Amino acid sequence: MARLTRAVLSLCLLALAACSSLPERPVLPDAFAPPPATQGELALRAGPAETRHPGQSGFRLLSNGTEAYALRMYSAQVATRSLDIQTYIWTADLTGKMLAQRALAAADRGVHVRILVDDMDARAKNAGFAGLDAHENIEVRIFNPFASRSGKASHIGELVTSFRRLNHRMHNKSWIADNRVAVVGGRNLGDEYFNASAGSNFVDLDLAMVGPIVRQVSDGFDRYWNAHSNYPIAAVSPGAVTPAALERVRGILQGTPAELAASPYANVLREDPDVQRLLTGGVSLHWTAQWTFASDDPLKLDLKGNVSNMDRSVVLSTLAPAIRAAQSELHLISPYFVPGPVATQTLVTSAIAGIDVRVLTNSLAATDVAAVHGGYMRYREELIDGGVKVWELKPTNDADSDFSLRGSSGSSLHTKAVIIDDRQVFIGSFNLDPRSTSINTEQGVLVAHPELAQELETIYEEQLQGSHAWRVERVDGKLQWSDGTQTFTSDPEASGFRRFVAWLTKLLPIESQL
């Protein structure tokens, strides 16, 4: 009977999937962002600064979630010409709705808003994105969409029957206002990425940028916007893009400012000096002409021929030579860290050569994807035995952490960054794992600037403290986790279920998917 039930269920899923197929993508002319705005607040702030630094771009670390949120809000509020948003996840919570409300308000002022979102998340918010698309100044496109727009059964059925296509996701994150200011990094759009969640928040990082690099980020957005891997939402869900849908979205979003004003997060924003400096124009930037913006081909999974991981991943081909060229220090932050044999050997070789190689990743208790931890466990001992110093982030926030929402109960690492020789930094969406290398699209920025590197190093050293992370070492042949006050001989604070998932993943031949 059980076998029969499973067979019937499988046939039903296949039937549901067969009933759903993507329509032919409409023929669309290539579209591009307009030139940088010459009027408005962003032009007023960025234009003179660019003139004073010809050929250079200005960078600012956004390690503070409140500042990262405030910059996006502010830039949308003052944009005069264009707002381009590219994201993997856009949640319908307080900050997610506020950002949508600001984008809608910008469109009402005549700003051209383009939203490009991955469908692994967007499908569940189809009605909201379709409503926004009904606005005459907003266009929404979906990266690699599902044919079915609702229902778990059809969702699973499509994944089963079209796994190779749907397994390829857009992990890039960009926020570009007036082609004058851009934000690139690890943050999706939602409370847990901006220290606004009463539950677990992500430790994350972005780069705010002005100058010529903004135009490169904008060109990268255009490349994705015009790629055949995305569809206008009206093409996959034509009946949902209606004036009535737009009015429903307006009704949902119109009360969000009052919701924010009544929330504890409003107090956090008011108390944050970084936010206040941003709003009053007191933000300082690091200027340099030494930077590289790297963005994968939106069709990377379909590259033909004998394509190596290095050739398939533009981000890896940019980052790997810089890592191999390290002379004294190589400090990595990767929440999902599955280095594989090649990267493991590279890091061990560097450590043996006397380079200070350090890795900060999630502990099993802190990660939001226990299966990935199983892939990391395969290489943990080899790394440590080879001289690589390893820390794993704790799941709980330090009670004295600045400007996180009062009552936040936990933290999980989401930052993707590298510091090289106290002079170069890489920040982006790229995890050091097979999925980022070979399957998902990624992007990031490699910048050479000693002061910027020192700022990130200060943040890094803080996260390595015992209040935030456990140092993992080999003692008497066994792994040991220590924060300076307590010592553990197995993954600390991890539940039995998490241990089982990680153990099972470690055994299964699925590393290429992690």
Indicate if 414 belongs to the active site.
yes
Summarised one tens digit per residue, pLDDT across range 480-496 is 999 999 999 999 999 99
**What's the average model confidence in pLDDT over 44-66?**
95
Question: What is the 8-class DSSP label of residue 170?
Answer: B
In a domain, 354, yes or no: yes
Q: Are residues 261 and 332 in the same domain?
A: no
470 within 8 A of 483, measured Cβ to Cβ: yes
Residues 332 and 221 in one domain: no
Report d(CA 441, CA 438) in Å as an integer.
8
Number of independent structural domains in the chain: 2
For residue 183, the surrounding DSSP H or E stretch is strand 181-185
Provide the token pair at 70. Answer: 């405030």
269 with 362, same domain: the answer is no
For 338-392, write each residue's pLDDT tens digit.
999 999 999 999 999 999 999 999 999 999 999 999 999 999 999 999 999 999 9
Distance, CA of 158 to CA of 13 (rounded, Å): 8
Question: What's the CATH number where 478 sits?
Answer: 3.30.870.10
pLDDT of residue 397: 54
Q: Which residues neighbour 440 within 8 Å (Cβ) at sequence distance 6 or greater?
A: 168, 169, 170, 171
Catalytic residue among 421, 449, 468, 491: 421
Same domain assignment for residues 265 and 245: yes
Based on the residue annotation, tell me whether 449 is a catalytic residue of this protein: no
Question: Do the domain assignments include residue 20?
Answer: no
55 & 147 share domain: yes
Structural domain includes residue 1: no
pLDDT of residue 207: 98
Q: Look at residue 11 and tell me if it is in a domain.
A: no
Active-site pick, 286, 414, 449, 468 = 414
Which pLDDT band, with edges at 50, 70 and 90, does 303 fall under? low
Task: Identify whether 21 is part of a domain.
Answer: no
Over residues 130-166, the pLDDT tens digits come to 999 999 999 999 999 999 999 999 999 999 999 989 9
Write out the two tokens for 464: 């390595």
| Catalytically annotated residue among 119, 178, 274, 296 | 178
Position 200 scores a pLDDT of: 86
Q: Is the same domain home to 252 and 353?
A: no
Range of the domain at 106: 51-280
pLDDT of residue 278: 84
Mean pLDDT confidence for 469-487? 96
411 has pLDDT over 90: no
Q: Give a yes or no: residue 192 inside a domain.
A: yes
- Per the annotation, the verdict on 416 as an active-site residue is yes
In a domain, 239, yes or no: yes
What value, to the nearest 5°, has the Cα angle with vertex 174 and ends 171 and 178?
Answer: 160
Please indicate, yes or no, whether residues 490 and 376 belong to a single structural domain of this protein: yes
Strand, helix or coil for residue 180? coil
Q: Name the packing angle between helices 370-385 and 340-352 (round to 10°).
A: 30
Q: Which of 97, 155, 171, 373 is catalytic?
A: 171
Query: Does 227 share its domain with 79?
Result: yes
Q: Is the pTM of this model over 0.85?
A: yes
| Residue tagged active-site, from 97, 135, 168, 173 | 173
Give the pair of three-digit tokens for residue 163. Answer: 């796994």
Do residues 414 and 374 share a domain?
Answer: yes
Whether 171 is a known active-site residue: answer yes
Strand partners, 412: 202
Instruction: For residue range 221-278, list pLDDT tens digits in order.
Output: 999 999 999 999 999 999 999 999 999 999 999 999 999 999 999 998 998 898 988 8
pLDDT band at 308 (very low <50, low <70, confident <90, very high): low
Q: Is 400 a catalytic residue?
A: no
83 & 195 share domain: yes
Rounded to an integer, the average pLDDT of 307-335 is 91
What is the pLDDT, as a whole number, of residue 311? 72
Q: Are the beta carbons of 219 and 120 closer than 8 angstroms?
A: no
pLDDT surpasses 60 at 402: no
Indicate whether 342 and 269 sit together in one domain.
no
Structure tokens belonging to residue 93: 């919570």
Residue 178 is among the residues annotated as catalytic for this protein = yes
* Residue 324 and residue 244 share a domain: no
* 45 assigned to some structural domain: no
Of 112, 373, 416, 449, the active-site residue reads 416
